[in-house]
Structure 1
Amino acid sequence: MRLSRAEYKEIVRWTEQLKPTRQCMRMLRERFSNHSQSTLLSIFSLEYQKRIKRTISRHHAPDVIESHYQRYLSKAKAHPTAPVLLDLANEVDFSPALMARIILDRFLQDLEGEMPSKTVLNNMLKEPSLIPDQTLAKNVYQCTVNDCCYGPLVDCIKHAIGQEHEVLLCDKLKEKNLSFLDENQLRARGYDKTPDIILEVPIAVEGHIIHWIESKASFGDTHSHRTYLNEQFWSYWNRVAGKLEPIPVDFGKRRGTPETGRQLIARFGPGLVIYWYGFIGELDCQRDRGILLKDCFPTDIVTLGHAAQQD
């Protein structure tokens, strides 16, 4: 779904005061019934993460952590069956899952007399039954299942959705009988930084030559798209399609090719980015420079064989 910048800003204005709970999505769906739930959730998640990044340092100040912890202890003692940690996170406008992490970390410091390892902390957040305090375990669980933007449950869902859309992309390519290499095949061949798909024979979409395809199971807003352009897309585009050139590098722990001991740097060319949950239409302004944006798999593909027949 392509949204104009004005449409996107209207949705963003509605998200500014919402909490990252399941109920917020019901409110967004009611207000913007012509947009899919996946698009609305992706936009809300992106905007909420920006909000958290602006305030997270405040919640990690030692005195603030201690204040949050003591408030939790007091309320949990007075109301042992209430979702006090979730209520506290909403009250101070902070992610419930991140609040649970802070309080659990502080609890383990008291219990063990030292800073807990990240492995222990992460394992307990993923499986709250490991927490040696039943009340805290219940509160941590309530925070993680009610946070739609952060936490181990959200991370697992995002990973699964990303893989699902990569499989969907591969299935669409196979339906069109297009020859391609996926990211796993490219890495097995020693390629360095790669798109999700490299087409072994280029195609044309809306009059633009496509050598590679990147799948993004998210909404393309200005900030995320600019980041992807700088960190991924331009590096793909700046390379010449179809060649493989060994470049000497200082590996350290990085793996080179066994034959040459050199890193294989792929050279690609112009490509297509699919934002499955939509994007701001005005961002699709780099077509002449080799970056085409779509919100679905293209239906108007021209292959080399079709072009030859037309000629």
Structure 2
Amino acid sequence: MACILSQTTYSSLLDSLYKLPFRNRVQTLRKLFPQISVDTLKCIVAQECQRRMRGSHGKLTTSETIEAMYNKFANSILMSEEPGILLRLSDEVGLTPALLARSIIERHYQKDDKSKPTKLLVSTLMKNTALIDDRDLAFETYLCLLEDDEYGPIAEATKQSIGYEYEIRLRMELEKCKVSFLHEEHLRMKGYDKTPDVKLEIPVAIDGQVINWIESKALFGDEEAHRGYLKDQLYSYWNRFGPGLVIYWFGYVEDLEKIHQNRIILVRDALPTNMILMEQIL
């Protein structure tokens, strides 16, 4: 299913997204936007959640706020409330479940002098909740990690796995098309620092444009994400190797290519089937 969205549709989707609580948003959005695939919706929700948290995390995790949340959690335990206390608190304060659980763990392990526990300790406890010395907090944290698709070790491992899966998919499709290429590991062995996922040994032509490299992105490409990748990665590939292609496997907002008209970087949501090998032209 093609996932190239107009700016109008994308803006409408974001407006609907911002009105929903953190959990179970994809199910609601599926009903509102049935033409958009579930995978694309999940990707958009995750990206927007991360942006929202970057902007509001500091305000939601002041020492006073965390103290109030910790006391509320402790009181709920004393009142023998049913499991899911931190999940309900997450919906109430507007912090994702994993980030909330992390804040509560930091407060729980806070020393008498108010100093915070080390980041290594907190990360270790988040990765293995069985190590948390409080049974109720351990179980509540475990529930938060299961429910959070955007943050936490489970979400991060899933994200990395999907990214690698699509890199392998790109390589397999190029091999099937008999396109010769070097992948990222090959390029680093040759001494390159910033490298695309694939450098074509023999360029290909796509829609009349010569392409020398391909970058795989297992996410949705909107203007903010694309501008970030242009600055941090894509322009350096263009400077070194010339024109290239970035694939946003979960779709993108149309007209992204207009952002960089003077530097040819094609944008697609799949590997094009109309590639022409330059050796065939010669």
Class of the TM-score when normalised by the shorter of the 2 chains: over 0.9
Look up the SS of the partner of 2:109 in the other structure. helix
Alignment of 1:147-186 (within 5 A): 147-186=148-187
Tell me, yes or no, if structure 1 residue 107 matches structure 2 residue 115.
no
Corresponding position of 2:26? 25
Is the counterpart of residue 95 in structure 1 residue 96 in structure 2? yes
1:109 Cα deviation after fit: 1.4
Indicate the residue corresponding to 2:253 in structure 1.
280
Fraction of identical pairs, as percent = 38
Q: Does 1:304 align with 2:282?
A: no
- Secondary structure at the residue paired with 2:90? helix
Quote the Cα distance in structure 1 between the aligned partners of 2:129 and 2:112: 16
TM-score (norm 1): 0.86
The aligned length equals: 279
Matches of 2:179 and 2:208, distance apart in 1? 18
| Letter of the structure 1 residue corresponding to residue 250 of structure 2 | Y
How far residue 79 of structure 1 moved from its aligned partner, in angstroms, is 2.4
Partner of 1:164, secondary structure, is: helix
Give the alignment's TM-score, normalised by structure 2. 0.95
Q: Give matches, 1:67-86, under 5 Å.
A: 67-86=68-87
Once the 2 structures are TM-superposed, how far is the Cα of residue 188 of structure 1 from its aligned partner?
A: 1.7
For 2:75 and 2:137, how far apart are their aligned partners in 1?
A: 12
Q: 1:12 aligns with which of 11, 14, 17?
A: 14
Aligned to 2:46: 45
Q: Give the aligned partner of residue 208 of structure 2.
A: 207
The equivalent of 1:259 in structure 2 is none
The CA deviation at 1:147 is 1.1
Mapped to 2, the partners of 1:20 and 1:213 lie a distance apart of 34
C-alpha distance in 2 between matches for 1:30 and 1:142: 26
Amino acid at match of 1:307: I
CA distance in 2, matches of 1:165, 1:73: 43
Question: 1:9-32: per-residue Cα shift (whole Å, max 9, x none)?
Answer: 1111111022332x2111111221
Change (3 A) 1:66 1:301: same
State the shift of 1:290 in Å: 1.3
User: Which one-letter code corresponds to 2:149 in the other structure?
Assistant: C
Greater mean alpha carbon deviation, residues 76-85 or residues 272-281: 76-85
Assess, with a 3 A threshold, how the Cα gap between structure 1 residues 80 and 130 changes in structure 2: closer, same or farther: farther
Matched, 1:290 2:264: yes
Measured after TM superposition, the shift of residue 296 of structure 1 is 0.5
> Is 1:130 the counterpart of 2:104 in the alignment?
no
List runs of 5+ in structure 1 lacking aligned partners.
Answer: 240-267
